[in-house]
Structure 1
Amino acid sequence: MKQAHDVYAEHNPAYCAYVAGAFVTAHAEVHPAGPDLAIVYLAVPIALSGDLAATFDGTNKNTGLLEWLERTPQMSVGLADRVNAALEIVGEAVRYGCFTDVLRLSMEGRLTPGSKKFKQSPLSDLDPHSIGAIRRARRLGTWFATAGSTRNIFGILGLTV
């Protein structure tokens, strides 16, 4: 049986909070202070993007952001538009994550895992694309954490604030 791709479900704040939480948790494993809120707005659209999914094939958490970008120069094309198009979706996901205490936003503008943990059992009910987005978010969390400052990450991706 062929499963349909559900764009509405992919933009569900709870699901996107799960993706953002995967990114934040992986980032916090490297840097316990957590990522700046701004880079979550970069990571979630990249992780959710179906057209970039294949660019993660053959990578792991040790690949790193720079090596991935060298392998995937097309990633930067249209990145600003992709991020801008997802601003509302990511904002709702962060608010949902903070409201449910699976994410916490510090006074310094950093996200950390909250006191509640994401349940792993719902993952078994997701389609492969959705599971892949969560895995990509984790990988991006590690890569962004090892890439340096938020300013450095924006620069590597060819973006300015």
Structure 2
Amino acid sequence: MILAHDLYAETNPAFCTYALAEFLKAFVEVDETGAELPLAYLALPIALSEDLAGSFEGTNKKTGLLEWLERTPQMSVGLAQRVNASLEIVTPAVRYGCFADVLVLGADGRMRPGAKAVKPTAITKLDSISAGAIRRAGRLGTWFAMAGSTRNIFGILGLTV
């Protein structure tokens, strides 16, 4: 039996909000001030990219962004195009997340987890590809928070603000 992977399901605002919620949950464990909004536009396309999934194998929270990039030099190839192509996915996810009170976007431009948390058991009901994207978003949340400022993260990834 051949199973088809539903790409639309993985790019709908609710699923992407779930990934961003996982990203923010991990981020605020390291930096309680929250993540600046532009980081969502980096984290989500990287986390959702199945072609980068293998590069997360053998990593953990302590690996860090720099070490991961050292192991994955191909990651920065086409990153700007990947980020630009994902604008129509990230923006609705942020809007939906704020509307659903899963995410909070403060006046300071920082995102934090909202009052409504996503149930941790929900990930167990996802297929392996979708569950992997959620786990990668969490890993990126930790790494981005440990890496410092948004400008620093953009620079590490070879992007300009």
Runs of 4+ with >3 A deviation: none
Q: Could you report, residue by residue, the CA deviation over 1:64-123 in whole angstroms, capped at 9, with x for unpaired residues?
A: 000000000000000000000001100000111100001000100000000111022332
Aligned equivalents of 2:89 and 2:17: distance in 1? 10
Partner secondary structure for residue 32 of structure 2? coil
- Match of 1:7, as an amino acid? L
Partner secondary structure for residue 45 of structure 2? helix
CA offset at residue 2 of structure 1? 4.0
Aligned equivalents of 1:121 and 1:149: distance in 2? 32
Residues 109-128 of structure 1: matches in 2 within 5 Å?
Answer: 109-128=109-128
The residue number in structure 2 matching 1:154 is: 154
Q: Could you report, residue by residue, the CA deviation over 1:42-83 in whole angstroms, capped at 9, with x for unpaired residues?
A: 000000000000000000000000000000000000000000
Partner secondary structure for residue 55 of structure 1? helix
The residue number in structure 2 matching 1:39 is: 39
- Match of 2:68, as an amino acid? W
The residue number in structure 2 matching 1:89 is: 89
- Match of 2:61, as an amino acid? K
| Cα-Cα RMSD | 0.9
Residues 1-150 of structure 1: matches in 2 within 5 Å?
Answer: 1-150=1-150
Q: Percent identity?
A: 67
TM-score by length of 1: 0.97
The number of aligned residues is 161
Aligned equivalents of 1:71 and 1:16: distance in 2? 26
Q: Which consecutive residues of structure 2, in runs of 5 or more, have no partner in the other structure?
A: none
Aligned equivalents of 2:3 and 2:53: distance in 1? 18
Aligned equivalents of 2:3 and 2:130: distance in 1? 12
TM-score by length of 2: 0.97
